[in-house]
Structure 1
Amino acid sequence: MPPMGYTAADGTGLPMLVFDPPAGVRPAAGVVLFHGGALRKGSPDDLAGHCRRLASHGVFAVSAGYRLLGRGAAGIDDCVDDVRRAVERFRALAASRGVTRPASGGSSAGAHLALVAAMTGPTDGGAVVAFNPAGLDLLAFPADVRRGIERNAGIGAGRASEYSVVELVRPGGPSTLIHHGTADEVEPIDHVRRFRDAMTRAGNPCTLIEYGNARHAFHYGDEHLADVVDATARFLLDLAVR
């Protein structure tokens, strides 16, 4: 796991943990993942176990950091900028390993950042893997809850629609795989189903795998980790040969 990194817009050096497949195995796919933590905590170490397991399947996997609110990021825009830069750096690393269709993704707030970055960038396809993503349908929350989310996530007042991922759906968007618990208390499962349906209507492949009675961050536990990561590896490897 050699340490690498990239540079944020303000010149801050940010970490990337790099996981290559076993020696002698050429990676057939690649993904960069961004940790959760409500944009205020967390680190690349949080998804190191996921990346290590993905690498064992022949996936070049990277876990990347980004500036956090109160720790270098003035608002969510800075976090999205960092994700864009990390994806650019990751694509160069993936290309050096022969990976031609690299993906992005993450957990919770990190999945939200990856989706926003992918869905507001060039419509070149791509792919996103989202573990219990947040922020899929911000406008579905009551107004007072939505205002609280804006404050806590560093979103300018009244700008929730710009970060509500379902509002960003358009043709040519990324192929998406979502793992979500039916008892998620951060992003209700009906929000996720609505996003999936909107993606499908727009012609974007979107698969939702539901986990019965699972709550937010369920994929870290031993009960679900293997299934979540193994299904993710299959998705990425299938994508690479299309």
Structure 2
Amino acid sequence: MTRAGREFSTSYRAADGSELPLLVFEPAEGTPPRAGIILFHGGALREGSPNGFAPHCRSLASREILAMSAGYRLLGRGAASIDDCLIDVRRAVEQFGRLAASRGLDAPHLAAGGSSAGAHLAMLAAMTPSSTEFGVAALVALNPAGLNLGSFEPDAQRRLAQEVGIAADRLTEYSLIEFVRPGSPPTQIHHGTRDEVEPIGSVRQFRDAMVRAGNECTLLEYAHAEHGFHYPGTGGHFDDVIDATTRFLLDRTATT
């Protein structure tokens, strides 16, 4: 393990022209990064900030990984719907790719991910078609949400669609299990068995669907852990999450 290096804040431009924060954490000077990852915070698309992932990024940078944490427009604060949030995630990844390239990393050495709603956005952007290629080779999801929205009762689907600013009949457009295809990026999921937001059963169904399609999808289950278990001081799982994420990234995306 190396010590962490330079940390700084920059920005990228959202579709509405506003500037959104992008925190950058680099390995120590003289240590070229072997892989890179961009993370998106949770908060039900209405709360949270990139600062929430600063401890994760700092720890990953000490392990020769270029790590970034990005903001995106939130509902009620610049975003009219989840569509705006998703557009921002794609734009953030484009900026991440440019910064990573200047440090010798191209798309096969990059990953995206996040926590809860942020994990959902990163996975959705990687697994759904767009006008531009989503330039990452792997995904890391910490207690992701939205894996199987079609399993919700109709009333719950209508409420959730309204909450994220879309028509009720569009909700399955955001259900990740609907987009599982052969060739989906290798994915590592960290999830607590007592998660109260996304039941572990839904996560297992998604994992199984990915494997049936011929994709690599590893689910790391944390016994008795609830939503948000991966933060420092919350259940004592932080180091295990960082260690497993590091191994996954260096095994699948690292430069030689």
**TM class by smaller structure:** over 0.9
Which residues in structure 2 correspond to 1:221-232 (within 5 Å)? 221-222=232-233, 223-232=236-245
Residue 71 of structure 1: aligned partner? 77
Which residues in structure 2 correspond to 1:199-210 (within 5 Å)? 199-210=210-221
Moved more, 115-124 or 57-66: 115-124
Distance 2:134 2:70 in 1: 23
Q: Judge conservation of contact 1:105–1:114 (CA < 8 Å) in 2.
A: yes
Q: Shift in Å at residue 156 of structure 1?
A: 2.4
Residue 237 of structure 1: aligned partner? 250
Q: Deviations over 1:127-184 (max 9, x none)?
A: 1100000000011111112222112222322111100000011111111000000000
Q: Shift in Å at residue 124 of structure 1?
A: 7.8
Amino acid of the structure 2 residue aligned with 1:203: G
Q: Judge conservation of contact 2:94–2:135 (CA < 8 Å) in 1.
A: no
Distance 1:131 1:140 in 2: 21
Q: Shift in Å at residue 209 of structure 1?
A: 0.2
Q: Shift in Å at residue 87 of structure 1?
A: 0.4
Q: Deviations over 1:205-242 (max 9, x none)?
A: 11100000100001114300111011101111111249
The answer to whether residue 31 in structure 2 is matched with residue 31 in structure 1 is no
Q: Judge conservation of contact 1:124–1:173 (CA < 8 Å) in 2.
A: no
Q: Judge conservation of contact 1:183–1:216 (CA < 8 Å) in 2.
A: yes
TM superposition outliers: structure 1 runs of 4+ over 3 Å = 121-125
| Cα distance change, pair 44–241 in 1 and its aligned pair in 2 (3 A) | closer
Instruction: Structure 2: state its 5+ residue gaps.
Output: 1-6
Which residues in structure 2 correspond to 1:5-154 (within 5 Å)? 5-100=11-106, 101-121=109-129, 122=133, 126-154=137-165
Residue 192 of structure 2: aligned partner? 181
**Equivalent position SS for 1:149:** helix
Amino acid of the structure 2 residue aligned with 1:191: S
Q: Judge conservation of contact 2:230–2:241 (CA < 8 Å) in 1.
A: yes
**Cα RMSD (Å) of the superposition?**
1.4
Q: Judge conservation of contact 1:181–1:189 (CA < 8 Å) in 2.
A: yes
Q: Judge conservation of contact 1:138–1:146 (CA < 8 Å) in 2.
A: yes
| Cα distance change, pair 43–123 in 1 and its aligned pair in 2 (3 A) | closer
Q: Deviations over 1:69-128 (max 9, x none)?
A: 000000000000000000011011111111232110000000000000000145887211
The number of equivalent residue pairs is 242
Residue 3 of structure 2: aligned partner? none
Which of 157, 167, 171 is residue 156 of structure 1 equivalent to?
A: 167
Amino acid of the structure 2 residue aligned with 1:29: A
**Equivalent position SS for 2:203:** helix
**Equivalent position SS for 1:118:** helix
Residue 204 of structure 2: aligned partner? 193
Q: Deviations over 1:25-49 (max 9, x none)?
A: 1100000000000000100001111
Residue 167 of structure 1: aligned partner? 178
Distance 1:61 1:241 in 2: 13
Q: Shift in Å at residue 202 of structure 1?
A: 1.2
| Cα distance change, pair 76–185 in 1 and its aligned pair in 2 (3 A) | same
Moved more, 220-229 or 29-38: 220-229
Q: Judge conservation of contact 1:32–1:90 (CA < 8 Å) in 2.
A: yes
Residue identity (%): 61
